[in-house]
A and B are shown apart, each in its own frame.
Chain A
Amino acid sequence: MTHAKRIDREAGRAYWMMILPAFLIYLAVMAFPIVLSFILSISDYSGGKMFGENAEKWSLVGFAQYLRVVRDPWFWNALKNNLYIVGISVFGQLPLGFVFAYIIYRRLVKAPGFWQGVLYVPNIISIIVVGLLWQSIFSPNGPIAQVINDLARGEFQGKLAAIMDGVGHLDLSDGALSRILDLGGQAARDMFTDPVPELRDLLSSYGAEEGAMVVNDLTNLLVNRWTPEFLNVKEVAMLPILFVILWMYTGMYLILFLANMQKIDAQIIESARIDGANEMQVMRHIIIPALTGTIVNSAILAISGSLSSFALIFALTGGGPGRITEILSIYMYRSAMSGSRDYPLANAIALIMVVISILLIVLTKAIEKRWGGKEE
Chain B
Amino acid sequence: MKTEANVRVRARGLLGSALAKAAAYLVMGTFTLMTVYPLFWLTMNSFKTTREFQVNMLGLPMDPTLENFRMAWEFGEFSKLFPNSFIYTIGTTALVIALSVLAGFAFAKIPRRVTKWIYGSFVVGILLTINTLMIPLFIEVTILGIYNTRLAVLLVYVGAGLPIGIYLSTEYIRGIPTALVESARIDGAGYFTIFRRIILPMAAPVATTLAILQICSTWNEFALINILVSKTELKSLPLGIFKFSSSLSTDYGKQFAALVIGMAPMLLFYVAFRKQITRGVAAGAVKG
- Point out residues on A near B: beta carbons under 8 Å: 10-12, 14-15, 17-19, 21-23, 25-26, 28-34, 36-37, 40, 50-51, 96, 99-100, 103, 105-109, 115-129, 132-137, 139, 141-143, 146-147, 247, 250-252, 255-256, 259-260, 262, 264, 266-267, 269-270, 273, 278-279, 297, 300-301, 304, 307-311, 314-315, 328-329, 332-333, 336-337, 343, 346-347, 349-350, 353-354, 357-358, 360-361, 364, 374, 376
Contact = CB atoms under 8 A, between A and B. Distances in A.
Name the 5 nearest CB pairs between A and B, nearest first.
A29-B159, A308-B129, A259-B282, A14-B191, A108-B24
Given A18-B191, A374-B287, A310 B103 contact: no
A172 to B, nearest CB: 30
A360 B287 CA distance: 12
Given A343-B135, A374-B287, A22 B31 contact: no
Interface string B228-256: 00000000011001101100011010011
B28 A310 contact: no
A350 B132 CA distance: 6
B15 A12 contact: no
B140 A36 contact: yes
A350 B223 CA distance: 14
B128 A143 contact: no
Given A23-B118, A126-B238, A376-B286, A37 B136 contact: yes
A332 B135 contact: yes
Contacts of A129: 238, 241, 259, 262-263
B86 interface: no
Contact of A126 (B16, B127, B266): B266
Nearest to A103: B24
B168 interface: no
Nearest to A12: B112
Contacts of A117: 274, 278
B124 interface: yes
B180 interface: no
Contacts of A357: 127-129, 132
Given A18-B191, A21-B99, A124 B266 contact: yes
A346 B135 contact: yes
Given A21-B99, A34-B133, A126-B263, A270 B8 contact: yes
B39 A121 contact: yes
Interface string B166-179: 10000000000000
Contacts of B131: 307-310, 329
20 contacts: A15-B110, A19-B118, A23-B103, A33-B140, A103-B28, A108-B15, A108-B20, A115-B28, A121-B39, A124-B216, A125-B263, A125-B267, A136-B255, A279-B11, A279-B12, A297-B287, A304-B288, A332-B134, A353-B132, A374-B287
Nearest to A262: B1
B103 A19 contact: yes
A33 B241 CA distance: 28
Contacts of A300: 127
Nearest to B99: A22
B62 interface: no
Contact of A125 (B5, B36, B266): B266
Nearest to B152: A29
Contacts of A333: 134-135, 227
A14 to B, nearest CB: 4
Contact of A19 (B12, B107, B125): B107
Contacts of B25: 108-109
